[in-house]
Amino acid sequence: MASETVNGAVLHYEERGSGPPLLLVHGTGSYAGIWSPVLDGLARSYRVIAYDRRGFARSAGAPHGGRAQHARDAAALLDALGASPATVVGWSGGGVIALDLAATFPDRVAALILAEPALHLTTHPTPGTIVMSVRSAFQRYVRRDPAAADAERAPSGDGERGHEFNV
């Protein structure tokens, strides 16, 4: 896995294939490894870039600034890699960041694909999503556990389950 320093954070990324750039933005409680099952297939047609967002898994830097900071990081990563404009795929919380990237830096985005964007989580969080977020944040920040995605799939105690990504 390679790394690039952008906006004061070291972002780790994996790049495969050639062709039009395709940026994959993982959800909250996840990391770039969530895309592993589809990387080779996508790399047959695209230059695929999957990265760990600031403060997730192997990437350093505290996630200051929330979605806006993550969108600035994605734009800077695309610039550093000479990969603009890119088709941007965002899953769950990554979908919200992808939307922010497209709205703030439209020249960096050729197309936008959103898989289960977590728009409702920002305006109407449920007890289950709050528990999932706290559990994931604990594993990410206190334990520095790159497998914090597993916490997102754990039962929340109120009958809800976290999002699951099936390819």
**CATH number for the domain formed by residue range(s) 2-118:** 3.40.50.1820
Residue 44: predicted pLDDT: 98
Residue 125: predicted pLDDT: 63
CB 85 within 8 A of CB 75: no
Residue 20: predicted pLDDT: 98
Contacts 24+ apart (CB under 8 A), 76-82: 76/6, 76/7, 77/4, 77/6, 77/11, 77/13, 77/23, 77/49, 77/51, 78/21, 78/23, 78/49, 78/108, 79/108, 80/4, 80/6, 81/4, 81/13, 81/15, 81/21, 81/49
Residue boundaries of the structural domains of the chain: 2-118
Q: How many helices (H) and strands (E) does the chain have?
A: 6, 6
User: What pLDDT, in 10s, does the model give residues 106-119?
Assistant: 999 999 999 988 76
- pLDDT value at 85 more than 70: yes
Cβ-based neighbour number of residue 159 at 10 Å: 8
Q: What are phi and psi of 89, to 5 degrees?
A: -110, 125
Whether pTM > 0.85 for this model: the answer is no
User: What pLDDT, in 10s, does the model give residues 149-159?
Assistant: 444 443 333 33
User: What pLDDT, in 10s, does the model give residues 27-84?
Assistant: 987 899 999 999 999 999 999 999 999 988 899 877 666 888 999 999 999 999 999 9
User: What pLDDT, in 10s, does the model give residues 5-20?
Assistant: 999 999 999 999 999 9
